[in-house]
Amino acid sequence: MPLDGDVCYRALLAKDERFDGAFFVGVETTGIYCRPICPAKTPGRTRCRFFLRAIEAEQAGFRACFRCRPELAPGQAPVDAVSRLASEAVRSIEAGFLDEHGVDDLAEKLGVTGRHLRRALEREVGATPVELAQARRLALAKQLLHDSSLSVTEIAFVSGFSSLRRFHSAFLERFGSAPRLMKRSQVRGAGTSIAVRLDYIPPFDWASMLAFLKQRAVEGVERVTQVEYRRTFRTSEGAGWLSITLSPPRSLRLEVHAAPTRELSSVIAKVRRLFDLDARPHAIAERLGTHEWFAPLVAARPGLRVPGAFDEFELAVRAILGQQVSVRAATTLCGRLVTRFGSTSGLEIAGLEMLFPAAKVLARASQVDLCALGLTRQRAGTILALARAIASDQINLGPSSDPERIVKELEKLPGIGPWTSQYIAMRALRWPDAFPGGDLEVRKALGVTASSEASRLAEPLRPWRAYAVMHLWAGAGGPRLENEPVKPRKSTLARRR
């Protein structure tokens, strides 16, 4: 959809944060392009050109502003993409897929030919896969030159370039300056820690996000306080750990420790998904607020996000463990699973002693071993079926996955029904329209007994039903699957239909 220049200019005049990342403005007289929230003096309307994506501005000959730093702008949510294929391809490229693979590999993964993929992205995004990957590498490099203590050489390889010469050449062509001239002096921290700034569109209900994650923190793998989230993760060389804190007014501060620098871009992408940093809270609130019953919930918790997953398999296992039990019970079972099948991290950090077991490890487990942890035979069988499907690549929960297709694949596994598959889609697959209508608290809040009726009532809330669910859970204590009929209670939403 083409941009309306007059609407964009009004947003630019207002420095409207709702449009941060939704478009970029190129200033004809300076050759610079900016975010809509740039603090610089707003140019006249006739001097402005508007672009949907940063790469379009760069292809038109504009260079990134050093004040507002377009490379930090939040990305676009999945529902913003023109087509599912383009959306899946862009998410894979943003996650660094082309740093290790070719375009034809990506096309095969998405079930199309390389030629079809190139044409689709050129038509719908305005750039080829290679151009998108290059733009991502350069944006990350520019961010690290500003914010990190890494050397120029380290930044070149962290950003995905195969050689220092290619990095210098591409950077000079894009930004008109050598990388070393943009390098800000930073004092290298102790060990191998790297700090990175991650921007989002305010508001952000940080307290609710941490409370949700803290209640579900896996012992030994995650540690959550009222101000910080920490976790371990597997690297190519062993284990690393990260911490996330709020950095007002519109950023999180990510610190990555004990991990190879070349894996930083992957960690950043995972953290953005975990904390839902590309959400557009104003658009979501506007949609949910059209329903009188949801309006007070949205007003009470502005900026409520859908917590994602750093490790999709870990989240899927947790979803199975959460079937028909309390959050506390599921957390206890998850801790036992990690103790029995996980590996030690080797990190001397309190509360971060373990790594969650990989799918291939659980795929080799026996049902008896899992039942010994307190799982039912059915639940143990479901986890084994999931682990084997993931380990054999029968199911892929990665960022390029088609949520609707994956939901169908998950429901073919024994013991996985709509509640579990939709919960996984909501958090692991980052699908904003996922809706676990069978959830007990959702049905109670909507005043219905059947999941089909809950889905019917939530239909007008598309494509943001996952956020509607988060608001319902926030007011009811969290998700819970229950197969028994629930006594309905009248709700404003149900009563007014």
- Give residue 220's Cα distance to chain centre: 23
In 3D, which of 355, 357, 416, 408 has the Cα closest to residue 385? 416
Q: How far is CA 409 from the centre of its chain?
A: 22
CA distance 252 to 430: 19
Q: Which residues contact 78 (CB under 8 A, 6 or more apart)?
A: 87, 91, 403, 430, 431, 432
Catalytic member of 34, 48, 65, 68: 34
Question: In the sheet that 24-27 helps form, which strands lie side by side, from edge to edge?
Answer: 48-51, 24-27, 32-34, 63-64
Within 216-301, residue ranges assigned H as helices are: 264-274, 281-288, 295-300
Q: Which residue has the tokens 């019970």?
A: 329
The secondary element (H helix, E strand) that includes residue 351 is none
Length of the chain equals: 497
Dihedral over alpha carbons 74, 80, 82, 87 (to 10 degrees): 60
CA distance 337 to 113: 41
What are 397's two structure tokens?
């929960």
| Residue 9, CB-side half-sphere exposure with 13 Å CA sphere | 11
Largest CA distance in the chain: 72
Distance CA 442, CA 437 (A): 7
Cα 135 versus chain centre, distance: 19
Q: Is the dihedral of CA 372, 373, 378, 382 positive or negative?
A: negative
Residues 6+ apart with CB under 8 A from 476: 441, 444, 445
Pairing of strands 32-34, 63-64: parallel
417-446 burial by CB neighbour count: b if 16+ within 10 A, else e? bbbbbbbbbbbbbbbbbbbbbbbbbbbbbb
Q: Cβ of 491: how many Cβ atoms within 10 Å?
A: 15
Active-site annotation holder among 20, 199, 276, 439: 439
Annotation says 199 is catalytic: no
Alpha helix locations (H) across 262-352? 264-274, 281-288, 295-300, 312-321, 327-341
334 is catalytic: no
In this structure, are strands 48-51 and 24-27 parallel, antiparallel, or unpaired?
antiparallel
Count helices and strands in the chain by DSSP H and E runs: 25, 11
Residues catalogued as catalytic: 34, 439
